[in-house]
Structure 1
Amino acid sequence: MKLFKTTGIAMLALSLCTGCAGYKERVKANNQTEEVELENRNGFNLSSTTKYELDNVQFHVPNYFKIIDKDDVNPVGFKPDNSDFTVMTLTWVYEELNDSSIDEFADSFLKTDAFKYLPKDYEIEEKSFKNEQGNYQYYKLISNSGHVILDNQSIYAHVNLYFISNNKHNGYGVLSYTQYDGLEYNYYNDILDIVENVSITDEKEETTSNTTSSTSDSSTTTTAPNTDSSANTNSSVPTPTVGQKNALNRALDYLDNFEFSRQGLIDQLLHDGYTQEEAEYGADHTNANWNDEAALKAMDYLSVMSFSRQGLIEQLMFDGFTQEQAEYGVSQNGY
């Protein structure tokens, strides 16, 4: 099993490099303009998707995501129209989904040559959505940002790993999403739509006493209607408003070009006219790693000015970073 999983992850790294030769030309073209604004790819519609099933987890993949590997390959890579990059892969793992198996998969994933420069200090988040059957389905999310290696080049990228268990808890699917610098579109919202429109096709077991993830058990095995909103405070995800969606898109645009603290990003969105609620939603749903943002911000400061360690910490805190984040950012730059 470990051999199969490691082999699959290695194949994933290779699939990510498919078509990488076009990256130099894209960068060259972008460098000829003063600024290239990243567009958000909006257009996900269930009627224009293809269902792709990995054992018991069925994904609705937009038709503009083209399969680049054969159906019998695990993982399967997808790249969007007019792109040389694999931005999404789907992998099936024949194991119970729990924090231990997630750590094992993520550690192997981050050790591949393509991702070896990504930070290893990721955190596992638990989120939920209401699936096609009307039940709340939990998934686990790892979000990371850093440099990846494609075609022997270092490229900054945002990487998300979504882990979704089947009902019997004897297997799970992993959707990996990589948003590279240099892509024409930002596919974050499309990927989130794919995750939140997943179908779990296997039958539920009557009992789930052997499942390690107790929170997921109690939520995914019940078929009772969701009538008590207070009982599902953590599992019910309200539909974001138009203002919240726009604030998120704006926040992602900012983070693609600049380094921000959470508070700094909120302040910038408030300056742009968003409400406090919209600004906080936008900042909190970017999946940004504020430690990494602090490290990159510190690097920018040191490239143009000489700072003492304490002076740099104070400057980062002035920018809205916490004491802990500021100290982390400074230490990552040799102080």
Structure 2
Amino acid sequence: MIQTILALMKKELYQVIRDRNMLRLIFISPIIQLLVLGYAINTDVKKIDTAVYDFDRSSLSREYIKAKTAGDYFVISSENPTVLDAELGFKENLYTAALIIPNDFSENFTKKKPVEVGLLIDGSNANSASITSGYAEMIAMQFNRRQLAIPEPIVMRQQMLYNPESESVYFMVPGIVAVLITMITAMLSSMAIVREREIGTLEQLMVTPITVPALIIGKTIPFAILGFLEMSIALLFGVLWFGIPFAGSWTLLYGLTFIYLFTTLGVGLFISTVTQTQQQAMFYTWFFSIFAILTSGFFSPIVNMPEAVQYITYLNPLRYYMIIVRGIMMKGATVEALYPEIIAMIIFGIVIFTSSWLRYSKRVS
């Protein structure tokens, strides 16, 4: 069986190498998308999850917190948590900003002395971080005018985490990597089997001693290899061209990508069982990719989507993989911080790949 699988893998790889259009799709398209999307996309920011550390605990500090949350910008997700857990909260995406009010806030404020209020911002998304900073400064200025009728007695001291240069490309490129590996592996695996059916070689394979498991494994492993190659090219291009720092573990990223490939290859295998031509397979894969991209948080934060759509995003495996890629690359997140997304990916991989395997086996029978 191993020799059969290796022969099928060799055959698939040879077909890809001989197809110039496929080679362009695999190797040139990712670089173009990295260049275009890495520089072109910006998003609006609302409902910023914020942790509040109020060491003053006075009526004035509470009024200042109320002023921060009066609009549709800052949402208090955690109030007076443990300071030592601040970094963990950022890595686990519990909040994207942390407001720190010193214990001498009200005393200095009433004496018209400068007051330094701390604001930690998750700088992974440079665009969101910059807008968050602008919102905070604007609200502080309005609070100053209301209370003292003098400009800026509060001085906001900020620290940009994970992306101190405020480069939006640092946020976009990891997302593009996740999108590319989703589209390419699903499309290649769906079109390969349909292509065999179109040219008539699938029926020839069926009359040979090749078993269904060997056929499926031999067909999917080459595209998993190409998926890893695609991801490696995109990552290297992002690191070398855009200068993106890689904060986490390469081994962890590739290991979790291996888990995610069970989902994308399973989707491609399923599409191959419900289509008759390569054009149909490409259309179905494109439809799946559009849904996955738009509901993954790639373009805009999921929290800004309508509530009904937010629930739909839980059915999107790319949502979880997007968090993993960005978390590992930008924040150096570990398994402890990413275990909810890892569990979700494992469940998706088992359910989708097994279902597609069974459906394909039934179709062949």
- The verdict on a shared fold, with TM-score over 0.5 as the criterion, is no
Q: Per chain length, whose mean CA-contact separation is higher, i.e. which structure has more relative contact order (CA < 8 Å, sep 6+)?
A: 2
TM-score computed with the length of structure 2 as normaliser: 0.29
Larger % of strand: which? 1
Which has more helix, going by share of residues?
2
* TM-score, normalised via structure 1 length: 0.31
